[in-house]
A and B are shown apart, each in its own frame.
Chain A
């Protein structure tokens, strides 16, 4: 802490209070930059392509955004808590493969298989968390290791059990249709044929927002990511909260694994590899700080929305999508710069 020049603690005379009107207060929300960017992307593709705004078109980019969004929201919560989870992408593959192998190869009951996969995912998440909390090794390293382990297990395990590298005949599993109704169906909403995952996405975002802003867990998460030592000193149950966050991303990985499994009825052993960075990108575009302590669930959902809109918008615009990654990189940079300037405007030191 630096010595602060003596300043009167009286309100009216304090120049730091200048410009603190409601608009500045709104701008201070971490998701503002992402909201503006989302509106711009939406406007652009709506005007330049014919299909973007059609009900069927909107359903595709919303769906695209939903799968990234669920993970991005969970990853954002973890990032606000000051940690990373690089195993989040591979987890979507692991859980899908587990359910696929349990049911198609060993004839396990679908619901039991799903429960078992969820428990395994939570155990992996808890192991990540425990390692980080107990050893103090950066989560970047711990989860990078988990990522590689899962990647190897996904491949070797699938090959060992099925003799192939993808789950086949999932559609023949008893109760598959019921599972599809919950995780992979299409529901007509206001003329849009929405994939049910979009509803999950909205639900998860609302739940995460509520947790972050409306409960004490949210307070603890912000505190742990913002100043770990302070959180310890004020008696926040730091270990429990951090481990819970890792379990949260693992559970989200399970959910996305199920959404994907029941939608396409197959899982590749390579599923999810490389997706973890997209989740982090969405969270950062949504205003989360890489260093923790700042961010929002709605922002991460908006980040995923931007990603989904660009991903599908490029197809609608029939551009050469070899350029996709370059666009995304540019978007990321732009979003971070916008966020930075917005935060400076609002007077938050970060």
Chain B
């Protein structure tokens, strides 16, 4: 749908030779990549490849150990998730960072509530927040009759889209999605992928972290493949097919031998 692939403007977020170690354990080593507006960067890798570590560094949860993290071309070192959020980098975690027992609208504005008045007793602008929540979800194609229902009563795809809608509404320039489709059925995953494309079309930079190349390929512009904390290379969508991507992720030769093994009977 989008012809945005490859025609990158200046990247919003960029890493150069980035590394992260926890004590003596090196979780990430020499990673370089970037994401710009209207671009989907897919970070692929098997379990333990270092996807989560990269995500945490980009989201400001953990500071990086070596290399550079650049925001709009300037080196930066996040001191916490709040700072990353303020810089327009929003993360949608696998657990979606929602509180199941709380109403949808309270979840939508959690941590960034609209208030009226000053001081510690500033009043919540509840009516306004309900209306905004309803409208934003409607835009994503979810029509909730009651934004007061606990978010735990929504379906997995709906919750995912609430989380994405929340990130977009709060002025995110880059949205990091952590395995957004892994817990979903085929149909729901398709719904979420549509939201990802929709977000990209509105000019957002998307970092799509997943272990499923079949979900990544239809929406991704570029693919960064990780293995054991190191990069196996970054590929343009034009330069790689989904099968090649799959093979690369699983460690190429290993998968081929597995395929032969399985073919025998």
Touch between chains A and B, by CB atoms below 8 Å: yes
Residues of A within 8 A of B (CB): 1-7, 9-11, 16-17, 20, 25, 210, 214-220, 222-223, 226-227, 229-236, 293-294, 347-350
* Contact pick for B110, options A5, A16, A217, A234, CB 8 Å: A234
Contact call B144/A230, Cβ cutoff below 8 A: no
By the criterion CB–CB under 8 Å, are B184 and A3 in contact? yes
Stretch touching chain A among B62-70, B91-99, B230-238:
B91-99
Closest to A207 in B: B121
- Contact of A20 with B95 in the complex, beta carbons under 8 Å: no
Contact B111 A4 (CB under 8 A): no
B122 touches A215 (CB 8 A): yes
Question: Smallest distance from the beta carbon of A56 to chain B beta carbons, Å?
Answer: 37
> Across the interface, which residues of A come within 8 angstroms of B95, CB to CB?
1, 227, 229-230
Partner of A5, one of B81, B113, B122, B185: B185
Residues of A within 8 A of B122 (CB): 215-216
Residues of B within 8 A of A348 (CB): 101, 150, 152-153
A-B contact pairs, 29 of them (CB 8 A): A3-B184, A4-B157, A6-B187, A6-B188, A7-B155, A9-B157, A17-B145, A20-B146, A20-B149, A214-B124, A215-B121, A215-B122, A215-B123, A216-B115, A216-B122, A217-B120, A220-B111, A222-B102, A223-B102, A227-B100, A230-B95, A230-B96, A235-B82, A235-B85, A293-B99, A293-B101, A293-B102, A349-B101, A349-B150
Contact between B155 and A25, CB atoms less than 8 A apart:
no
A229 (CB) vs chain B CBs: closest residue? B95
* Chain B positions within 8 Å of A236 at CB level: 110-111
Does A222 lie within 8 Å of B106, measured CB to CB?
yes
Sample of 20 more A-B contacts, CB < 8 Å, known A9-B143, A235-B81, A235-B112: A1-B156, A2-B156, A3-B183, A6-B157, A6-B188, A7-B155, A11-B145, A25-B146, A214-B124, A215-B124, A219-B110, A219-B113, A219-B124, A220-B111, A223-B106, A223-B111, A226-B99, A231-B99, A235-B85, A294-B101
In the complex, which residue of chain B has the Cβ closest to the Cβ of A210? B121
B111 pairs with A231, CB closer than 8 A: yes
Q: Are A9 and B191 in contact (CB under 8 A)?
A: yes
A residues near B110, Cβ cutoff 8 Å: 219-220, 223, 230-231, 234, 236
Given A4-B184, A4-B188: A25 and B148 interface contact (C-beta under 8 Å): yes
Residues 136-166 of B at the A interface (beta carbon under 8 Å): 141-146, 148-150, 152-153, 155-158
Q: B111: nearest residue on chain A (CB-CB)?
A: A234
Chain B 182-194, CB-CB to A under 8 Å as 1, else 0, gives 0111111001000
Q: How far is the CB of B136 from chain A (nearest CB, A)?
A: 14
Task: Report A-chain residues with C-beta under 8 Å of the C-beta of B85.
Answer: 235
CB distance from A1 to the nearest CB of B (A): 5
Q: Cβ of A230: which chain B residues have Cβ within 8 Å of it? A: 93, 95-99, 110
Residues of B within 8 A of A (CB): 81-82, 85, 91, 93-102, 106, 109-113, 115, 120-124, 126, 141-146, 148-150, 152-153, 155-158, 183-188, 191
Contact status of A216 and B113, CB under 8 A, knowing A3-B156, A3-B185, A7-B155: yes
Task: Evaluate whether A11 and B187 lie within 8 angstroms (CB atoms) in the complex, with A222-B102, A222-B106, A235-B85 already known.
Answer: no
**B143 to chain A: which residues have CB within 8 Å?**
9-11
Please name the residue on chain B nearest to A1 by beta carbon. B183
B83's nearest neighbour on chain A, judged by CB, is A235
A350 to B150, CA, bound (A): 10
**Closest A residue, CB atoms, query B188:** A6
- In the bound complex, residues from chain A placing their C-beta under 8 Å from that of B106 are 219, 222-223
Contact B101 A226 (CB under 8 A): yes
Query: Which residue on B lies nearest to A291, using beta carbons?
Result: B101
B102 touches A226 (CB 8 A): yes
Closest 5 CB pairs of A and B: A234-B111, A6-B187, A226-B99, A233-B97, A216-B113
Are A9's CB and B158's CB within 8 A?
A: yes
Assembly CA distance A218 to B124 (angstroms): 10
Complex CA–CA separation, A20 to B188 (angstroms): 24
Which residues on A sit within 8 Å (CB–CB) of B97? 227, 229-230, 233-234
A231 to B110, CA, bound (A): 8
Closest partner residue, chain B, to A6 (CB atom)? B187
In the complex, residue of chain B having the shortest beta-carbon distance to the beta carbon of A227: B99
Question: Which chain A residues lie closer than 8 Å to B142 at the CB level?
Answer: 9
A295 nearest CB across to chain B (Å): 10
The chain A residue sitting closest to B84, CB to CB, is A235
Specify the chain B residue showing the minimal Cβ separation from A20: B146
Residues of B within 8 A of A25 (CB): 146, 148
Does the CB pair B145–A235 fall under 8 Å? no
Distance in angstroms between the alpha carbons of A1 and B163 in the assembled complex: 15
Residues of B within 8 A of A210 (CB): 121
Which of B126, B145, B157 interacts with A20 by CB under 8 Å?
B145
The residues of B that contact A293 with a CB separation of less than 8 Å are: 99, 101-102
Q: Is the CB of B156 within 8 A of A4?
A: yes
Which residue on chain A has the smallest CB distance to residue B93?
A: A233
Closest to B117 in A: A215
CA distance A154 to B121 in the complex (A): 35
* Pair B100/A349 contact, Cβ less than 8 Å: yes
Contacts of A347 in B (CB 8 A): 149-150, 153
A294 and B103 alpha carbons, distance in the complex (Å): 11
Residues in B with CB closer than 8 Å to A229 are: 95, 97
Residue of A nearest to B191 (CB): A9
Chain B, Cβ-Cβ closest to A349: B152
Residues of chain B within 8 A of A11, CB atoms compared: 143-145
